[in-house]
Amino acid sequence: MIAQINFMSTTKFTYAAEFVASIDRVISQERLSRYLAATKGDIGEALELYEYNIAISEALFGFLHGLEVAVRNSIHYTLRRDLGTPTWYDGGVALPCSTTGEALSLTAVMDDMVTEAKAKLPPTALPGKVIAELTFGFWPNTLTKRFHSTLWLPSLHKAFPHATAPRSIIHLRLEVIRRLRNRIAHHEPILTSHNEVYTGFKDQPYIALSSILECLEWVSKDAALWLKARSRYQWAEELLLAVSKKGVTL
């Protein structure tokens, strides 16, 4: 197991008076407000919960990195093979399943994402570089209802070989995970006291870690086992459990 630096020590940390006095300037009362509310104004306990939020964000980010890479590569691999070109994302490629010669047409938003990705790269960049440059948001878009008959039924379901869930559920799961990833990247709170993390997504505000793991299992059970063991996923589980036992409400 990769060594994990765990600053959530069982030893009670004493916050210097000077640090506490500077909190409004360096952290802000607004940022601590949810933790202060949960601890009835106890600044020490609030800071501890704030630290737990940092820790759970750190613990999950590496796992989400692996999940995103696996999802995008599986989708790319499948479409590259089935559509017969590694640059399928440029659109215009004939859809083998079509009886009318229909060509793949991405949405305007997806086209913009491809354009922006290419703009960051030299003109000679290989398709793999373009795929790596595309934002996470591009990939849930390939699973929307718009592409159900043109991509999902004939091809894209093969990118999730272990999924029994329908396309709509896989799409939602990826969108929820994307929202969670963005919250972490923008240093927003994700910690809760009920063994789930907060996504901020109105369609599904919370997600269990097991559901995130399941999404990777849909792509590759072996990759899921590998990342669960070699990332900090299990530390994230321990952190959530510890907070759930604190008797606070987040």
The SS3 of residue 82 is: helix
Q: Determine the pLDDT at residue 75.
A: 98
Cβ neighbors of 8 (< 8 A, separation 6 or more) are 51, 52, 55, 239, 242
Q: Determine the pLDDT at residue 3.
A: 43
Q: Determine the pLDDT at residue 5.
A: 46
Cβ atoms within 10 Å, residue 198: 19
Q: Determine the pLDDT at residue 2.
A: 42
pTM of the model: 0.92
Residues of the chain with pLDDT under 50: 1-3, 5
Q: Determine the pLDDT at residue 1.
A: 38
Q: Determine the pLDDT at residue 10.
A: 56
Q: Determine the pLDDT at residue 99.
A: 67
